Amino acid sequence: MSNLNELSITDAAKKLQTGEITAVDLARACLEEIEKERPAGKCDRLNAFLEVFDDVIAQAEEADKRRTAGENHPLLGIPLAIKDNILIEGRRASAASKMLENYVATYDATVIKKLKEAGAVFLGRTNMDEFALGSSTENSAFGVTKNPHDESRVPGGSSGGSAAAVAAHMALGALGTDTGGSIREPASFCGVVGLKPTYGAVSRFGLIAMGSSLDQAGPLTRSVEDAELLFTVIRGRDTLDSTTVDETFYKKRSGGRRIGVPRRLLESGLETDVIQKFEKSLDVMRSKGYEIIDVELPLADLALAVYYIIMQAEVSSNLARFDGVRYGLSLKGESLIDDYAKTRGEGFGHEARRRIMLGTYVLSSGYYDAYFGKATVAREALRREVAGVLEQVEVIATPTTTSPATKLGEKTDNPLSMYLLDILTVTANLTGNPAISLPMGTVERDGTQLPVGLQFTAAHGDENALFAAGRAVE
Amino acid sequence: MISREEVLKLAELARIKVGEGEIARLQKDISDILEYVETVSTVKIPNSLTERDGVPPLRNVMREDTPRSTGDPLSGKEDALRAAFPKKENGYNVVRKIIQKDE
C-alpha cells in the first residue's frame, strides 16, 4: 500500500490495530517522503528536520514487537517529529542554536517519557527559530525551513519545522512549543491543526525554557481528532513541573454552542480575503447549530505590547543560564566576565541577543515600574476581560494570523513587522487559556493557494470546547 | 533613540559581546521596539486592580532537599551531566579561578 505517510494518526492506528500495516511500513513511508528530492547536506527538501534519527526503523520494529506482545495503544508505532527544544535522552537538542549545537540531552522530557510509554516512534528533531525566538523559523542557526505550499515563503514559527513536516506528510504528527503563537501561527501558515493547551495542562519538564509564564507544549497534526489524541497522552500533572495541574483542577463546563467574535479587534490590519474565509467558517458554524455573538475585548489591542515586555524579560532570565560553564558552547576570553560575554556574543544569534538586551532593559532599575510592572497589571486586566467574555460564550473565534505565509526575508529587516504576525495569538499565552488553530481554506497570492487558519480560544481547562468546535468546522 | 553608550551598557549587563558593526542596528531596533511597547502606559487599568494584582496568585511548591531517588528522570545521570562539561579533569568541571591574590 502506498502513501501510508498521508494517513491521519487515528486512521493509521486502526490499520495498525487490525494488522493491515506495521509500524515499520509507516516509518519507511515517512522516511521515503523525508528523503524525496533531498539536497546534499540537508535532511529533507524543506529543511524541516535538523536531524533524522538513524534508528527509526529499529524503533518501529520495537513498536511492532510490543504490539505482538499484546500492547494496543493508539500511538504505538506512530511516527512523530519532535521540535528541537524538547529533550530526548541521548539525542541532541540544540534549540536550533550554535550555543547548544553539540548538546546531548541527559534525560527525557516528561512529554517524551509519556510518548515512549505509549510507543510512539521518533523520526527526528525539527527546525525552529533559535530558542523559539521568532515567527518564521528564519532565526534558526541552521538555515530557514521552507513552506511546503510555496517554497519561497516561510512556514511560520517558531515551530516551523514541525508544521512543515506534518503538512508535507513527512510525519503523521509533531510536537511543538507555543510561547506567543509558536504552534498556532505555523499551523496556520502550513495548513495543519495546532493546539496550545491551557497553561499548566502539559508538563514543561525537559523543554528548553523561553518564557516560563507563557510556554506550553502541544501537538501539530492533520486533524482535530489527532490533536485531541496527542493532547490526551501528553497532558497531566507532573511533580517535576510545579505549574502543572490535573484534569479536575478547572471545573467542567456546560458544553454549549455559543461563539464570540471580537469584531472591533478584526476591523484593522487583516487582509480582506482572510476575513472572507473567516466569515465563511462562521457560516459553517451557524449551519452546525452554533450561535455567533459579538463580544468586546478592548484590551486585546494592547496584548502584543504587554507580551513583548513580559516575554523579553523572561527570555533574558531563562537564557542567562547559557554561560559556557556547565554545558554548551564555551569560549575563552581575557577574564571570567569576558568568557561569558564572548560565549554569549558568539553563541546566540542576532534575535536572541537583542531580546536578551531588551529584557535586561525593561527589568533594569528605573525602568522596571514603567515597563514590567505596568505590563503585569495590564496582563491581569486582560485575563479578567477574557474570562468575562468566556462566561457568555464557550469559545472566542478569530483568524489565527492577519495574512497567509509571508515571503522568505520579507520581514527579517524589521523586527516590529515580524512581531505583528503574533497579534492574534499572544493573548492566549498571556491569559493561559487554551487555543487551537485549524485550516479554514486557502487564499491566493502570486498564483499560489496558501492556507490560512481559524483560531478558537476557550476557558481554562476547556480544551473539549476547542475540539468540539474544531470538529464542527473541519 | 537610545544612545550608543546605552547599548554598550545593556550589552555589558546582559554579558553579551556585541560587534562594532551591529551597534547602530541595535540602537534603531531597540528604540523602535521600546517605542511600540510603551503603548502599555495607555492601558486603562480598572480601579479595582492594583499593582499587587499584577503578581500572579503564586503558591510555593516545596520538596525535601534530598538526593534524587531511583525512578527520578535525573537519578543515575551524573556521568551524562559530567560528559557535557566544557572542560573536565578527574570527573570535575574545570572553571576559571575567580579570586585573585593581591600582588
User: Given an 8 Å threshold on Cβ–Cβ distance, is A316 in contact with B14?
Assistant: yes
Of chain A, the percentage scoring pLDDT greater than 90 comes to 92
In the three-class reduction of DSSP (H, G, I as helix; E, B as strand; rest coil), residue B48 is classed as coil
Band (pLDDT 50/70/90 cuts) for residue A123 is very high
User: Which pLDDT score, from 0 to 100, does residue A205 have?
Assistant: 97
Determine the average pLDDT of the residues in A296-304.
93
User: Given an 8 Å threshold on Cβ–Cβ distance, is B33 in contact with A419?
Assistant: yes
Pairing of strands A395-399, A258-261: parallel
With CA atoms as reference, the chain B residue closest to A310 would be: B37
- Is A37 a residue whose pLDDT tops 70? yes
Cβ-nearest to B49 among A239, A328, A381:
A381
Burial A285-301, CB ≥16 within 10 A → b, else e: beeeebebeebebebbb
- The domain segmentation of chain B, as residue ranges, is 4-41
Determine the average pLDDT of the residues in A121-143.
97
Band (pLDDT 50/70/90 cuts) for residue A66 is very high
Average pLDDT in chain A: 96
User: Given an 8 Å threshold on Cβ–Cβ distance, is A302 in contact with B85?
Assistant: no
Band (pLDDT 50/70/90 cuts) for residue A2 is low
CA distances for A14 relative to A7, A77, A277, angstroms: 10, 11, 33
Determine the average pLDDT of the residues in A226-234.
98
The C-alpha atoms of residue A310 and residue A371 are separated, in whole angstroms, by 9
Cβ-nearest to A336 among B26, B85, B96:
B96
In the three-class reduction of DSSP (H, G, I as helix; E, B as strand; rest coil), residue B79 is classed as helix
Which has the closest alpha carbon to A367: B55, B27, B57, B37?
A: B37
Q: B31 to chain A, minimum CA–CA distance in Å?
A: 10
Which has the closest alpha carbon to A417: A162, A207, A119, A154?
A: A154
Pick the CATH number of A4-234 from 3.30.930.10, 3.90.1150.10, 3.90.1300.10, 3.90.25.10: 3.90.1300.10
CA distances for A296 relative to A300, A306, A385, A401, B26, angstroms: 9, 18, 9, 19, 37
With CA atoms as reference, the chain A residue closest to B46 would be: A381
A252 classed as catalytic? no
User: Given an 8 Å threshold on Cβ–Cβ distance, is A376 in contact with B85?
Assistant: no
Q: A304 to chain B, minimum CA–CA distance in Å?
A: 8
- A335 CB neighbours in chain B (<8 A) are 96
Say how many C-beta atoms besides its own lie within 10 A of residue B66's C-beta: 6
- Is A413 a residue whose pLDDT tops 90? no
Conformation bin of residue A116: beta by default, left when phi > 0, alpha when psi is -120 to 50: alpha
CA distances for A307 relative to A313, A374, A456, B2, angstroms: 10, 12, 19, 21
Size of interface A-B (CB pairs under 8 A): 151
User: Given an 8 Å threshold on Cβ–Cβ distance, is A361 in contact with B34?
Assistant: yes
- Is A85 a residue whose pLDDT tops 90? yes
User: Which pLDDT score, from 0 to 100, does residue A361 have?
Assistant: 95
Residue pair A226/A465 in contact (Cβ under 8 Å)? The answer is no
Architecture in CATH of B4-41: Orthogonal Bundle (1.10)
| Burial of A225 per CB tally in 10 Å (0-12, 13-18, 19+) | middle
Band (pLDDT 50/70/90 cuts) for residue A1 is very low
**pTM (2 d.p.):** 0.96
- Is A272 a residue whose pLDDT tops 50? yes
- Is A244 a residue whose pLDDT tops 60? yes
From A94, A140, A159, A182, the catalytic residue: A182
For an interface test with A, the pick among B2, B27, B40 (most A C-beta atoms closer than 10 Å) comes out as B40
From A158, A159, A223, A437, the catalytic residue: A158
User: Which pLDDT score, from 0 to 100, does residue A157 have?
Assistant: 94
For an interface test with B, the pick among A113, A114, A338, A361 (most B C-beta atoms closer than 10 Å) comes out as A361
Quote ipTM for the complex.
0.90
User: Which pLDDT score, from 0 to 100, does residue A288 have?
Assistant: 95
Output the nine-digit C-alpha cell for A160. 516551523
User: Which pLDDT score, from 0 to 100, does residue B65 have?
Assistant: 84
For chain B positions 22-61, those within 8 Å of chain A (CB to CB) are 22, 26, 29-30, 32-34, 36-43, 45-46, 49-51, 53-56, 61
User: Given an 8 Å threshold on Cβ–Cβ distance, is A377 in contact with B54?
Assistant: yes
| Burial of A407 per CB tally in 10 Å (0-12, 13-18, 19+) | middle
The C-alpha atoms of residue A378 and residue A381 are separated, in whole angstroms, by 5
Which has the closest alpha carbon to A328: A166, A102, A133?
A: A102
Of chain A, the percentage scoring pLDDT greater than 70 comes to 100
Who has greater pLDDT, A66 or A268? Answer: A66
Say how many C-beta atoms besides its own lie within 10 A of residue A413's C-beta: 10
The C-alpha atoms of residue A194 and residue A224 are separated, in whole angstroms, by 9
DSSP letter, residue B9 = H
A288 classed as catalytic? no
Per-residue pLDDT of chain B (103 residues; tens, 9 = 90+): 999 999 999 999 999 999 999 999 999 999 999 999 999 888 777 777 776 666 666 677 787 888 777 677 778 888 899 999 999 999 899 998 877 777 6
- The domain segmentation of chain A, as residue ranges, is 4-234
Conformation bin of residue A173: beta by default, left when phi > 0, alpha when psi is -120 to 50: beta
A254 classed as catalytic? no
Band (pLDDT 50/70/90 cuts) for residue A358 is very high
The C-alpha atoms of residue B12 and residue A103 are separated, in whole angstroms, by 26
